């Protein structure tokens, strides 16, 4: 007999910490047992009991075309036939890098890695190596993966789990990490002034998507650019969420601001484990084997992962209408959720940028990390449980985004709005 989610979870907690391989999946922030997923197709995922859910997690972003897209699946199937890993260069690595260089502004070279964490960790090393400076500035509530120097005031499940600054990271390592406030240029300038000629880089999620979704105020990203130029620091856009989602050119194109180093993650793997960091030729040639900044990876540029990523990027390039569709759906959903909140009298604020959105359980506008933390996470948990009951699969924590995919339809969105209305009324 097939095991249920509860049976699998009971077995899982005995052999996996919290029963999972990544904390947010454990549903702890919402006090439930996770659903074990059997398969996914289009905008839907199915648990081992066969329950169908409309999915707004989309594997945390990469499934922009929906799950199990035939073009990507077939590319993977073809690649697998040739072998799983060679540890030697392949043609696909060249093509995916060429495409990225063509589509993303201001980058000339790409280094592939296996996750967003690795991409950002390596980008920080590059910034430090290239500038000869040690300090970095990040923003409280922004998440950049789990490398030591970035687990300070982190967002996402580090925040939801109550450990925005991780144990096990030596003070000596994080004394070089300075923390500023998102959407507050003065907080950045103060740090740059106080640490003149010591700051290697400012790293930012151009849309903060690991504290819910918080967009940059007009002028914030451009202001970071100006400050970085003024103080000789490099500007890193962590586009693990925004890359190829806000559009083919990512946040640089969307907001018209140039970054020095850009990091990408899961979305360029089409669901396979991939990340990348990219910059000008001058910067990237600091990286081994050209330069002294060492970074390597046995599985980097893995042929199967490259096949999936390449198929997805090709599809996106050939079908720019994907972006029109997902952005319009997100706007419809955000407006519908706001209306449902107004009609039920629920104090909810919905932020939306492109195909990213998040509700906050507060009546006030949310444009800073402090505002985001003002959300009533207990209410979010009840809302989450109620939505799950209605067959809608959301991020199981407040400090995450909702993602739309090209497989979502207007009907899906309208059904979701009705579920939100029912859920808010029940709160
Ligand atoms: N940067 C950002 C902005 C992220 O959202 C994430 C994870 N969602 C990461 C880095 C880390 O990526 P990964 O989980 O692939 O290591």
> CB of 384 within 8 A of CB of 424?
no
Q: Do residue 45 and residue 182 come from a single domain? A: no
Q: Do residue 338 and residue 271 come from a single domain? A: no
Half-sphere exposure of 411 (CA within 13 A, CB side): 2
Q: Please state the domain count of the chain.
A: 2
Residues in the chain: 427
Q: Do residue 60 and residue 87 come from a single domain? A: no
Asked whether the CA dihedral 315, 264, 17, 208 is positive or negative, the reply is negative
Kindly report the CA angle at 416 between 413 and 421, in degrees rounded to 5? Answer: 130
Look at ligand 1, atom 7, and give the residue with the nearest C-alpha: 145
Burial class (CB in 10 A: 0-12, 13-18, 19+), 289: exposed
Cis peptide before 154 (omega within 30 of 0): no
> CB of 286 within 8 A of CB of 128?
no
238 lines ligand 1 (CB under 6 A): yes
Would you list the DSSP string of 336-387?
HHHHHHHHHT---EEEEETTEEEEESSSS---SHHHHHTS-HHHHHHHHHHH
User: What CATH number has the domain bearing residue 96?
Assistant: 3.40.640.10
Q: Helix 321-344 to helix 410-426 angle, to the nearest 10 degrees?
A: 20
Which of 145, 151, 157, 299 has most ligand 1 atoms within 8 Å of CB, for mutation? 145
Kindly report the CA angle at 60 between 305 and 260, in degrees rounded to 5? Answer: 70
Which of 24, 57, 117 has most ligand 1 atoms within 8 Å of CB, for mutation? 117
> CB of 340 within 8 A of CB of 122?
no
Would you list the DSSP string of 5-74?
HHHHHHHHHHHSGGGSSSGGGG-GGGTSPPPPEEEEEBTEEEETT--EEEESSGGGTT-TT-BT-HHHHH
Which of 123, 144, 212, 358 has most ligand 1 atoms within 8 Å of CB, for mutation? 144
What is the pLDDT at residue 163?
A: 83
Residues of the chain with pLDDT under 50: none
Kindly report the CA angle at 92 between 291 and 266, in degrees rounded to 5? Answer: 80
Q: Do residue 91 and residue 239 come from a single domain? A: yes
Kindly report the CA angle at 146 between 160 and 47, in degrees rounded to 5? Answer: 60
273 lines ligand 1 (CB under 6 A): no
The question of ipTM being above 0.95 is answered as yes
> CB of 214 within 8 A of CB of 351?
yes
The last residue of a domain, from among 274, 303, 318: 318
Q: Do residue 10 and residue 36 come from a single domain? A: yes
Nearest alpha-carbon partner for 396 in 406, 387, 408, 404: 387
The last residue of a domain, from among 294, 318, 342: 318
Asked whether the CA dihedral 288, 293, 298, 300 is positive or negative, the reply is negative
Taking only Cα atoms into account, the Rg of the chain, rounded to an integer number of angstroms, comes to 21
Q: Do residue 347 and residue 415 come from a single domain? A: yes
Domain carrying residue 80:
70-318
The last residue of a domain, from among 318, 341, 371: 318
Q: Do residue 147 and residue 112 come from a single domain? A: yes
User: What CATH number has the domain bearing residue 355?
Assistant: 3.90.1150.10
CA separation for the pair 356, 22 (Å, rounded): 22
Q: What stretches of 170-292 show up as alpha helix (H) in DSSP? A: 171-174, 185-194, 220-231, 250-255, 281-284
Strand-pairing partners, residue 264, are: 276
Q: Do residue 35 and residue 103 come from a single domain? A: no
3-state helix, strand, coil in the chain (%, to 5): 45, 15, 40
120 lines ligand 1 (CB under 6 A): yes
Taking the centre of ligand 1 as the mean of its atom positions, its distance from the CA of residue 58, in whole angstroms, is: 14
Q: Do residue 224 and residue 363 come from a single domain? A: no
Q: Global pTM?
A: 0.98
Q: Do residue 332 and residue 355 come from a single domain? A: yes
Q: Do residue 307 and residue 327 come from a single domain? A: no
Q: Do residue 117 and residue 212 come from a single domain? A: yes
Which residues are catalytically annotated? Answer: 143, 238, 266
Nearest alpha-carbon partner for 398 in 426, 421, 379: 379
């Amino acid at each position: 007999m097939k095991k249920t989610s509860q049976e699998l979870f009971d077995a899982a907690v005995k052999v996996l910490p919290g029963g999972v391989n990544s904390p947010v999946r454990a549903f702890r922030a919402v006090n439930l047992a996770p659903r074990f997923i059997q398969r996914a197709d289009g905008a839907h995922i199915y648990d081992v009991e066969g329950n169908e859910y409309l999915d707004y997690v989309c594997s945390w972003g990469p499934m922009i075309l929906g799950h199990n897209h035939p073009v990507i699946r077939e590319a993977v199937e073809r690649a697998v036939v040739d072998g799983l890993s060679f540890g030697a260069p392949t043609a696909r690595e060249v093509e995916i890098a060429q495409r990225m260089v063509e589509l993303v502004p201001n980058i000339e070279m790409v280094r592939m890695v296996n996750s967003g964490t690795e991409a950002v960790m390596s980008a920080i090393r590059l910034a430090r190596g290239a500038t000869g400076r040690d300090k970095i500035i990040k923003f409280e509530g922004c998440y950049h993966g789990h490398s030591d120097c970035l687990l300070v005031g982190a967002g996402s499940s580090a925040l939801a789990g109550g450990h925005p600054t991780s144990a096990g990271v030596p003070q000596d390592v994080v004394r070089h990490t300075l923390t500023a406030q998102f959407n507050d240029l003065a907080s950045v300038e103060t740090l740059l002034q106080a640490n003149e000629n010591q700051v290697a880089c400012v790293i930012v999620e151009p849309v903060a998507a690991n504290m819910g979704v918080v967009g940059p105020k007009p002028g914030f990203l451009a202001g970071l650019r100006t400050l970085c130029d003024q103080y000789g620091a490099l500007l890193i856009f962590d586009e693990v969420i925004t890359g190829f989602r806000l559009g083919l050119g990512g946040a640089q194109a969307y907001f018209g601001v140039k970054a020095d180093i850009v990091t990408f993650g899961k979305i360029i793997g089409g669901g396979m484990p991939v990340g990348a960091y990219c910059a000008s030729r001058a910067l990237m040639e600091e990286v081994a084997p050209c330069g002294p900044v060492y970074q390597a990876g046995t599985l980097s540029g893995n042929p199967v992962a490259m096949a999936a990523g390449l198929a997805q990027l090709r599809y996106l390039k050939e079908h720019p209408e994907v972006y029109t569709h997902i952005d319009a759906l997100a706007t419809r959903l955000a407006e519908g959720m706001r209306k449902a909140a107004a009609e039920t009298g629920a104090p909810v604020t919905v932020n939306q940028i492109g195909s990213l959105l998040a509700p906050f359980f507060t009546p006030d506008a949310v444009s800073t990390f402090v505002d985001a933390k003002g959300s009533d996470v207990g209410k979010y948990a009840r809302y989450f449980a109620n939505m799950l009951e209605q067959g809608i699969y959301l991020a199981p924590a407040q400090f995450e985004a909702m993602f739309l995919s090209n497989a979502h339809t207007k009907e899906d969105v309208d059904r979701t709005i009705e579920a939100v209305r029912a859920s808010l009324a029940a709160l």
